[in-house]
Structures are given as C-alpha cells and as structure tokens.
Amino acid sequence: MTQDAATTAGAEALCETVRWFAQRGYCPGTGGNFSLRVDDERLLITASGVDKTALTPADLLPMTVEGALLSDGKPSAETGLHLALYQRDPAIGAVLHVHSIANTLMSRIGMPQQLRFEGYEMQKAITGNHTHATRITLPVLDNSQDMDELASALAQRYDEATPAYGFLVRGHGIYAWGADLASARRHLEGWEFLLACELQRRQLENIR
C-alpha cells in the first residue's frame, strides 16, 4: 500500500471511529476531538466545530507533529494537547477525546485527583492489565481554557497517565490514546465502560 493509500485508509478508519462514538452521545454539540498519526512527521486532526456524527475525511486537517497546518481550515481548539502527546511519545499512533455524562460527572464528584478501579473484568481493555484483581488508576487534571497550561499539567503527571493510556480533564472529558487507532479505541471504550459502572454503582449505593 502506498503512503497516500495508507493515509486515505487511515482517514476513513478515523472517521468511522469518530462517528461510532458520536452516535452514542459522546460528542454533543460538535464536542470532542480526534487525531491519527500518519507518519513520524504528520498527523490528521478533526477540524473545529464539525458534526462528529457525520464526519468525513474532508473534515480532517493535515498538520505536522510540531503544529504547522498543511492545509486551509481551523483545527480543534485543543490541538495543543494532541501535539503534546505525540511529541512526548513517538509510539502514540492515535488520540481520542470525548465528552460523556459519566466521564464528566466522575471527574467532579468529590473533586478527585485520580479515580481508582478494581474488580472489573473490563480493566483488561487497558493495555498491560491482565486481571480484574489489580487496581488501576485514571488521573484527573483541573480544567483550563489555556492549552499550554493543560499541556504543562499533563507533562507533570505524564508518568501517572502513561499506564492508563489516558486522563480526565475535570468537568470536561477524557483523552485516551494507543499505539494505533484500534488500541486507542479499545482504551477509550474500556474507560467509558468503567466510568459508567462506577457512576451507577455510586448512585445505587445512595439509593440503598
């Protein structure tokens, strides 16, 4: 497969993934942003303000890993966090960010610095976890409209976020990544399931 063909196939796969999450309510109001590494120097990222339920490759913007835009268009306002991740770890192949009710609420209840999960079989969706019998954690960063500030906060806690392949931004949403699009999607699906389970568990405990 030529590089251009591989890029086209990657763009189609990214759009299918984005539409799948959006159709499940994870990208309300055109929210969320998504990117895919094309090669060592380039990536594709969703344009700002597009309807994620109907995303097409025309809505993806090419840019360099250093942040130079390679076509006309306005990339997501949170592009800086994607770039920070790709620059920090060349092994990252895709970064996915969504806003769900579960991830938004769980990042605010009790204002945690991290969320802990244990006893769930779905923990094995996160690379490196092989049993429900261990504890895994998902870090929570305080929100900011300043992407440089958020990127700096992530840098300080990157070692904590690395085994989770993700982190929450308080009251905002979750970022998840992987070595390729398939693993990034699996990590995001896994975390969303765990967050939804924990939210409902707490609700049921309060009812009792």
Pairing relationship of beta strands 94-98 and 173-178 according to DSSP bridges: antiparallel
Q: Encoding tokens for residue 91?
A: 């092994």
Residue 132 known to bind ligand: no
Q: Which residue has the tokens 């204002």?
A: 111
The dihedral over CA atoms of 7, 8, 9, 11, expressed in degrees to the nearest 10, equals 80
Q: Do 27 and 100 touch, CB atoms closer than 8 A?
A: no
As a whole number of angstroms, the distance between CA 100 and CA 104 comes to 6
Residue 82 known to bind ligand: no
CB burial of residue 82 (10 Å; 0-12, 13-18, 19+): buried
Binding site listing:
97, 99
Binding site listing for Zn(2+):
97, 99
